[in-house]
């Protein structure tokens, strides 16, 4: 397996191998810790206290584990005795779980004009329904050109017609019947 890109950002190492993106969380461990005194937490989560770094390293080595710097910004830094390999594995596992649970909702935009023809109107309506069925939100924009900005009432009728035609498919999140610049907007999502 060839590694294509390796970038280092303090605290995280992103390794991209092919299409997969693995996140390996890096904390300072053992000899990488440079503070003279540390606040030590043992393997079971019990606070031992503020001890010299050498004593913390000896305790971790005696138990067969690593000394991991958990909170480097506190004074003195908080270090814990733990199995670092297991810690990294758990972090990566929870990162992947959170990534799976995230749902990306896109906002698709369909543009109308006050004098959109009937055939074009039906095609755009069909596309709106298709976007809604895919789980996307749809932003309907009514654009004005030139002297069309004078005829707000025609544009409102078009927006209300779209609303009435989609009453079975969508719920209106927001509708602005006031002209913002040269357009009116309506955002809808699936019922």
The four Cα atoms 55, 36, 41, 74 give a dihedral, to 10 degrees, of: 180
34-83 pLDDT tens trace: 888 888 888 888 888 888 888 888 888 888 888 888 888 888 888 888 88
Q: Select the CATH number that applies to the domain covering 28-101 from these four: 3.40.1190.20, 2.40.128.20, 3.10.20.80, 3.40.605.10.
A: 3.10.20.80
Phi-psi bin for 135: left (phi > 0), alpha (psi -120 to 50), beta? left
Q: Select the CATH number that applies to the domain covering 107-190 from these four: 1.20.1440.20, 3.30.110.10, 1.20.120.140, 3.30.530.20.
A: 3.30.110.10
* 3-state SS string for 37-104: EEEEECCCCCEEEEEEHHHHHHHHHHHCCEEEEEECCCCCCEEEEECHHHHHHHHHHHHHHHHHHCCC
Distances (CA, A) of 39 to 36, 48, 100, 188: 11, 8, 35, 53
Q: What is residue 166's DSSP assignment? A: T
The gap between the terminal CA atoms of the chain, to the nearest Å, is 46
Mean pLDDT of all residues in 145-169: 84
- What pLDDT is stored for residue 125 in this prediction? 92
| Complete edge-to-edge strand list for the sheet that includes strand 20-25 | 5-9, 12-17, 20-25
- What pLDDT is stored for residue 22 in this prediction? 52
Domain parsing of the chain, residue ranges: 28-101, 107-190
Contact 128, 167 (CB under 8 A): no
Measured CA to CA, the distance from residue 79 to residue 71 in angstroms comes to 7
96-135 pLDDT tens trace: 888 887 777 788 899 988 888 899 999 999 999 999 888 8
Report pTM: 0.50
18-30 pLDDT tens trace: 445 554 557 788 8
């Amino acid at each position: 397996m060839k590694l294509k890109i390796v970038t280092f950002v303090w605290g995280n190492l992103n390794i991209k191998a092919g299409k997969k993106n693995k996140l390996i969380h890096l904390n300072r461990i053992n000899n990488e810790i440079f503070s003279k005194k540390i606040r030590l937490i043992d393997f079971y989560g019990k606070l031992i206290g503020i001890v010299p770094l050498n004593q913390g390293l000896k305790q971790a080595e005696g138990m067969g584990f690593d000394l991991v710097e958990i909170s480097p910004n506190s004074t003195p830094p908080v270090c814990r005795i733990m199995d670092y390999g297991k810690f990294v594995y758990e972090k990566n596992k929870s990162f992947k779980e959170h990534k799976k649970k995230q749902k990306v909702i896109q906002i698709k935009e369909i543009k109308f004009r006050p004098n959109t023809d009937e055939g074009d109107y039906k095609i755009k309506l069909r596309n709106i329904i298709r976007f809604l069925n895919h789980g996307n939100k749809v932003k309907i924009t009514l654009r004005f050109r030139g002297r069309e900005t004078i005829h707000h009432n025609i544009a409102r009728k078009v927006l209300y017609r779209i609303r009435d035609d989609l009453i079975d498919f969508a719920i209106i999140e927001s509708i602005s019947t006031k002209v913002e610049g040269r357009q009116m907007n309506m955002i809808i999502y699936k019922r």
